[in-house]
Amino acid sequence: MQPTHEGVTVAEIRAGEFADIHLYLSKASGTANVCVVIEGMAPPPCANDTIPPPPPDTTLISHCWYVGSDSVTGQLTLYDTTVGGYMGVLVTNAGTRLPVTTWASFQDTLSIIVIRAGMDKKWRLSGTIQGGLWTGSGVGLPLESPFSFYGKQTYCQDTLIDTLPPPKDTSKAGRIPSPISSMGETTLCFEMQLHDDTRCKIEGYAKMSFFAGRITHGNITIAEGKGETYSQTLGSYDQTSINIQTVRPFSAGKPADSLMLDGSISIDRTMAKGEFIRLPSEKKGIWSMTSVVCGSWTPVYPDSSCSMPK
């Protein structure tokens, strides 16, 4: 059998990254089929199925991630073999399912290609993994401006179910920003509920500013007594969790006390909930907060039999 075309190409292929290979063949007549088998990927129909490629290098990666960026945010699941023709899926916070066409890993690097909602463009995310975090850069294909992304390892069966009531007006209330968002400082307001171990409910209202994974300042008021305001509020957050520390300074007749709240952020980033401890009493309970439009707050005070644990 005589070849109809000839050609040589050179390509730089790096571990954990995708490379475009351009092959130019001489002569203008005839046809040629090129079959490409990628290590760690399911073999194409043209390949010899009796010699399957080795499985992906999964020693240092999780198959499930919560991914956040200014371009795409949601729950990512990777497959070892093709499912419905794809190697994974990214479910966005809005519920859109974006298929993963391929992924590759080597040592501490992981790269994926995701088909975007219009099905005519793609995202490529590539980064390094360290301590359960996957960070790197993404780019839209055809070539667009790069962006940073953040991934946090999750258990595949875990999904934060939003059992809290929805915000009164989601179009205006605002969402907790991604910790790597380029939006700058964002100020949000929340209606809160705090329950002690007797399930007594105390309402609250918070106004806090978020920037680059930190709560930079804010205050929290709870409907207790004539209203207790914690004026020194700081904290931290990532794609799935939040930590808030707020202090009521010493004043005449009132000793200083503080609240420490740890919890999870809902998938749509409009709510959060978790557990709290009040110091120095060490009384504990559960809390939740829902994003609302900032404005005046009319507290509803409980009767005298129900008060915040002191």
Q: Mean pLDDT in the chain?
A: 77
Burial class from Cβ neighbours inside 10 Å (0-12, 13-18, 19+) for residue 211 reads middle
pLDDT-above-70 percentage for the chain: 68
Contacts (Cβ under 8 Å, ≥6 apart) of 287: 192, 193, 194, 195, 261, 263, 273, 274, 275, 276
Domain boundary among 159, 180, 198: 159
Same domain membership, residue 136 and residue 187 = no
Same domain membership, residue 280 and residue 243 = yes
How many structural domains compose the chain? 2
Same domain membership, residue 186 and residue 146 = no
Kindly report the backbone phi and psi dihedral angles of residue 172, in degrees, each rounded to the nearest multiple of 5, phi listed first. -120, -20
Same domain membership, residue 153 and residue 39 = yes
Contact (CB, 8 A) for 73 and 178? yes
Put simply, whether the predicted model's pTM sits higher than 0.75 gets the answer no
Same domain membership, residue 58 and residue 18 = yes
**Does a structural domain hold residue 13?**
yes
Distance separating alpha carbons of residues 202 and 300, to the nearest angstrom: 8
**Does a structural domain hold residue 104?**
yes
**Does a structural domain hold residue 189?**
yes
What is 78-126 written as a DSSP string? EEEEEETTEEEEEEETTS-EEEEEEEEEETTEEEEEEE-TTSS-EEEEE
**Does a structural domain hold residue 184?**
yes
Domain boundary among 123, 139, 159: 159
- Average pLDDT of the residues in 116-122: 85
Q: What's the pLDDT score for residue 7?
A: 62
Distance separating alpha carbons of residues 177 and 294, to the nearest angstrom: 16
DSSP 173: H
Residue 122 amino acid letter: K
**Does a structural domain hold residue 246?**
yes
Same domain membership, residue 77 and residue 109 = yes
Contacts (Cβ under 8 Å, ≥6 apart) of 109: 15, 16, 17, 126, 127, 128, 129
Residue 85 amino acid letter: G
Same domain membership, residue 205 and residue 139 = no
Least confident of 6-10, 74-78, 99-103, 234-238: 6-10
Same domain membership, residue 37 and residue 139 = yes
Distance separating alpha carbons of residues 145 and 196, to the nearest angstrom: 49
Q: The domain spanning residue 230 has which CATH number?
A: 2.40.128.120
Least confident of 27-31, 49-53, 60-64: 49-53
Same domain membership, residue 70 and residue 30 = yes
Nearest to 201 by CA among 300, 74, 93: 300
**Does a structural domain hold residue 303?**
no
Tell me which of 244 and 67 has the higher pLDDT: 244
Contact (CB, 8 A) for 43 and 49? yes
Residue 132 amino acid letter: G
Same domain membership, residue 128 and residue 185 = no
Tell me which of 100 and 83 has the higher pLDDT: 100
Tell me which of 144 and 50 has the higher pLDDT: 144
**Does a structural domain hold residue 75?**
yes
Domain boundary among 113, 140, 159: 159
* pLDDT at 298 exceeding the cut of 70: yes
Kindly report the backbone phi and psi dihedral angles of residue 301, in degrees, each rounded to the nearest multiple of 5, phi listed first. -85, 140
Q: Give the dihedral of Cα atoms 278, 279, 282, 283; nearest 10 deg.
A: -30
Same domain membership, residue 133 and residue 110 = yes
- Token pair belonging to 22: 């351009």
- Token pair belonging to 282: 């060490």
- Average pLDDT of the residues in 216-230: 83
Same domain membership, residue 127 and residue 28 = yes
Integer-rounded Cα Rg, in Å, for the chain is 26
**Does a structural domain hold residue 306?**
no
Q: Which domain range does residue 228 map to?
A: 170-292
Distance separating alpha carbons of residues 293 and 114, to the nearest angstrom: 34
